[in-house]
Chains A and B, each alone.
Chain A
């Protein structure tokens, strides 16, 4: 059974940093590209970042470029999102999700971790 478990969310002040983690089990993690997707309270979904299975390529949405960094440690079956210079607009539930072999969409999802940016 595939499980993705996010952690690292919490309350942080504007300008602060957080690092999210997503631990995968039940899959060959090193075969999968991985994504972060977020959802602000009572809002729609927003794709944040993607990293290939071999860390070779990654993409970020424009609003997080230069502030968020996606990375992975295949030896630990773990995906990360380093979030710096946080603003209130980054307040959201952050989900990790596996990429599909049929193009960049999202097959397996974690339960999400809440990040609240507030003074």
Chain B
């Protein structure tokens, strides 16, 4: 099983600042990496797939990068609606696996 590790667990950021979230895979997943945003009481929402492709309707302030085992999600200028939990997920290997999540909170 491919273990996904996200860091940090919690990121405190002021509105308007940049946030960089990390996701590491225990083995290569090529570019088969997706990011999701989840707000309390809601289902996750797909942000990024293919490590760097924004899903339909996702603002340009969200960008993804990396390949192999190291990935990042960057939010260039945090808006109030961006404070949430972010999950990465690999889909190169079965079973599909998620990281433990990074909570982005208001500083």
Contacts and interface: CB of A to CB of B under 8 A. Distances in A.
**Chain A partners chain B:** yes
B97 A47 contact: yes
Nearest to A4: B43
Contacts of B99: 44
Chain A interface, DSSP helix/strand/loop, else mixed:
strand
B34 A46 contact: no
A119 B46 CA distance: 36
B89 interface: yes
Contacts, number: 58
A59 B87 CA distance: 22
B101 A106 contact: no
Chain B interface, DSSP helix/strand/loop, else mixed:
loop
A47 B100 contact: no
A37 B39 CA distance: 16
Nearest to B6: A44
Given A45-B87, A103-B49, A111 B43 contact: yes
Interface of B: 1, 32, 34, 36, 42-46, 49-50, 53, 55, 87, 89, 91, 94-101
Interface of A: 35, 44-47, 50, 59, 61-62, 95, 100, 102-107, 109-112
9 contacts: A45-B89, A46-B98, A62-B1, A103-B91, A104-B91, A104-B96, A106-B34, A106-B44, A111-B43
